[in-house]
C-alpha cells in the first residue's frame, strides 16, 4: 500500500493510527484488518473474516490444475484450493520435494508438521507463497533441485514427495534418493509416491504410450522401487490409489460425477491387500542409523 494512502487511514474502532504488519493493517491497540488484493478491509472483524475467506483461487493454480492433479480434474473450475488429506501425520521438520504450488506442503502443515517446500519452478514457488498467504498457512518455499538438495546433512525429520520423482529418468531418481538420504536425520522417514507399472491403469498407459521423455511419467516395478529406495534404509510399499496417479477422496466435492465414481472405487480397493495392482503407491523408507 502506498505510504500516502496509509497516512490518511485510521482504525474504525478507536481512530488510532494504522501500520502495515505481515500483509495486514494493525493499530496500537492490536485491532487487525486484512488487505485483500491490495484493498484494505476496514470493517468489523467479523465482516472482515467473512470477506477474506478464499473466494478466488490463484490463477496459476487453476492453470496448473491438470498437470498438477491429473486428468480427473480436466475441465474443472476450482471453487477452492484442492488440499489433499495427509496420510502420515506427525511433528517435526518436513521437506516437500517438488512442492509445486504447495498443496502437499499445506496438507502436511495441517497434519502437524513444520514444512519447507522446494521446486525447480520459480513460477510455482511464487504461487505457493501467494496461496500460503491466502490460506493463512506458515510454510517456507524455495527454488531447488531434488537431485542436489541445498540443505545440511541430517536436517529433516521427514522427506515427502508426490508425483515428482516418477517424472524423472530412473538415473535422476536414484540421484534424488541419495540426496534425500543425505538430508534425512538418522532413523527418519521418507514417503515418496511412485507409479506402479503393474497397476490396473498404469500398465495400459505403459503399453499404449511412447517411451517417456522429458517430464513424462516413468512406470516402475515394485522390485525396482525397493532396490533403489533401499539406499535410504529399510523400505516398504503401500497402496496410494487405483485408476490414476492422483485419486484424492478429499476432492470429491469439486469433481464431476464420473470422477467421483472413480475415486470411490479407488477408496474401496485401497482397503484391500492389493498393493501389487495399485496404480499409485507410496515408497516408505527409514534411514539407517549413521
Decide if 3-52 and 59-287 have a common fold: no
Which residue did the predictor score with more confidence, 45 or 100? 100
List CB contacts of 158: < 8 A, sequence separation 6 or more. 88, 90, 92, 93, 94, 95, 108, 113, 188, 189, 190, 191
pLDDT at 47: 44
pLDDT at 55: 52
Alpha carbon distance 9, 110 (integer Å): 35
Q: Which of 12-16, 61-65, 217-221, 256-260 has the lowest mean pLDDT?
A: 12-16
pLDDT tens sequence across 236-285: 999 999 999 989 989 988 999 999 999 999 999 999 999 999 999 999 99
pLDDT at 3: 65
Its pTM stands at: 0.80
CATH of domain 59-287: 3.40.50.150
What mean pLDDT value characterizes the chain?
Answer: 88
Cα distances (Å, whole numbers) of residue 184 to 152, 165, 215: 9, 17, 26
| Every domain of the chain and the residues it spans | 3-52, 59-287
Question: Is 183 within 8 Å of 138 (Cβ atoms)?
Answer: no
DSSP assignment of 85-150, as one string? PPSS---SEEEEET-TTSHHHHHHHHTT-EEEEEES-HHHHHHHHHHHHHHT---EEEE--GGG--
pLDDT at 236: 98
pLDDT tens sequence across 38-88: 677 776 544 443 434 455 899 999 999 998 888 899 889 999 999 999 999
Yes or no: is domain 3-52 CATH 1.10.10?
Answer: no
List CB contacts of 107: < 8 A, sequence separation 6 or more. 83, 84, 85, 86
pLDDT tier at 127, thresholds 50, 70, 90 = very high
pLDDT at 230: 97
Amino acid at each position: 500500500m502506498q505510504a500516502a494512502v496509509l497516512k490518511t487511514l485510521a482504525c474504525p474502532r478507536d481512530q488510532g493510527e494504522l501500520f502495515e504488519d505481515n500483509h495486514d493493517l494493525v493499530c496500537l491497540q492490536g485491532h487487525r484488518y486484512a488487505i485483500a488484493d491490495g484493498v484494505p478491509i476496514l470493517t468489523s472483524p467479523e465482516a472482515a473474516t467473512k470477506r477474506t475467506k478464499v473466494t478466488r483461487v490463484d490463477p496459476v493454480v487453476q492453470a496448473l490444475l491438470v498437470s498438477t492433479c491429473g486428468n480427473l480434474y480436466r475441465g474443472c473450475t476450482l471453487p477452492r484450493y484442492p488440499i489433499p488429506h495427509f496420510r502420515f501425520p506427525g511433528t517435526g521438520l518436513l521437506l516437500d520435494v517438488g512442492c509445486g504450488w504447495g498443496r502437499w506442503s499445506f496438507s502436511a502443515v495441517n497434519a502437524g508438521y513444520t514444512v519447507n517446500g522446494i521446486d525447480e519452478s520459480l513460477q510455482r514457488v511464487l504461487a505457493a507463497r501467494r496461496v500460503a498467504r491466502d490460506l493463512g498457512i506458515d510454510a517456507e518455499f524455495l527454488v531447488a533441485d531434488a537431485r542436489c538438495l541445498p540443505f545440511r546433512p541430517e536436517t529433516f525429520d521427514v522427506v515427502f514427495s508426490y508425483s515428482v520423482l516418477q517424472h524423472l529418468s530412473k538415473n535422476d531418481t536414484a540421484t534424488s534418493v541419495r540426496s534425500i538420504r543425505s538430508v534425512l536425520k538418522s532413523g527418519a522417514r521418507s514417503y515418496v509416491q511412485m507409479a506402479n507399472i503393474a497397476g490396473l491403469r498404469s500398465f495400459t498407459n505403459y503399453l499404449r504410450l511412447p517411451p517417456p521423455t522429458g517430464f513424462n511419467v516413468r512406470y516402475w516395478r515394485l522390485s525396482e522401487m525397493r532396490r533403489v529406495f533401499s539406499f535410504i534404509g529399510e523400505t516398504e510399499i503401500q497402496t496410494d490409489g487405483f485408476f490414476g496417479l492422483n485419486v484424492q477422496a478429499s476432492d470429491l466435492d469439486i469433481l464431476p460425477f464420473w470422477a467421483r465414481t472413480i475415486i470411490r472405487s479407488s477408496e474401496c480397493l485401497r482397503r484391500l491387500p492389493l498393493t501389487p495392482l495399485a496404480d499409485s503407491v507410496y515408497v516408505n523408507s527409514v534411514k539407517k542409523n549413521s
